[in-house]
Amino acid sequence: MGIVSGGGGGASGAGTEIGYDQITAIVNIVGTSEGAPTTVITCAAHVFDGQPVIATFYCIAIIMGTSAPTFNINLYETGAVVQRLAYAQGGSALGMPILVATRFTPTAASHTYTIGAWVPNTTGAPSLSAGAGGAGNNPPAYVRFTKA
């Protein structure tokens, strides 16, 4: 996404990246409730100015496991759900990529967010796939915050 002029324009306008955080290894999902998810990505503290932002989450594949009828991915701040990012429903060991964006308005301050995932049943090792990128490797899973 490029810089969009207007409303502030230049390097501080819409489309400006506020922060980017990634993981480069598979995460096995053991959390079984929205209140106790498995942390997938712990973001660094990023400074927001009180204006709307877009949080974009990408992962090359979620692996449902053999008995996980649903797979939930949320954006959290200090353990509280900010937004549900993805909800997948499928069958036996289904794998699929996830690319989702959501708009929200954090207060003007430094915030630390996490991406968390949970499934109602962990049979079959549900997981999120990520790698170091490059030839023969999966790309990193990431969350990116940009000004709306």
Per-residue pLDDT at 30: 95
Structure confidence by residue, pLDDT tens digits, 31-73: 999 999 999 999 999 999 999 999 999 999 988 877 757 889 9
pLDDT at 98: 92
* 112 domain-assigned: yes
Quote the pLDDT of residue 11: 54
pLDDT for position 95: 77
Number of structural domains in the chain: 1
Residue 126 within a domain = yes
Separation CA 118–CA 22 (nearest Å): 19
The CATH number that applies at residue 52 is 2.60.120
Task: Tell me if 14 sits within 8 A of 147, measured CB to CB.
Answer: yes
pLDDT at 91: 64
Residue 10 lies in a domain: no
Is position 70 within any domain? yes
pLDDT of res. 88: 85
Confidence (pLDDT) at 64: 83
**Among residues 41, 44, 50, 2, which one has the least CA distance to residue 22?**
41
Residue 122's alpha-carbon distances to 34, 84, 95, 104, 115, in angstroms, are: 14, 20, 15, 30, 18
- Domain assignment of residue 1, yes or no: no
117 in any annotated domain:
yes
Q: Give the structural domain span for 118.
A: 24-147
The predicted model scores a pTM of 0.86
**Under-70 pLDDT residues of the chain:** 1-11, 68, 91-94
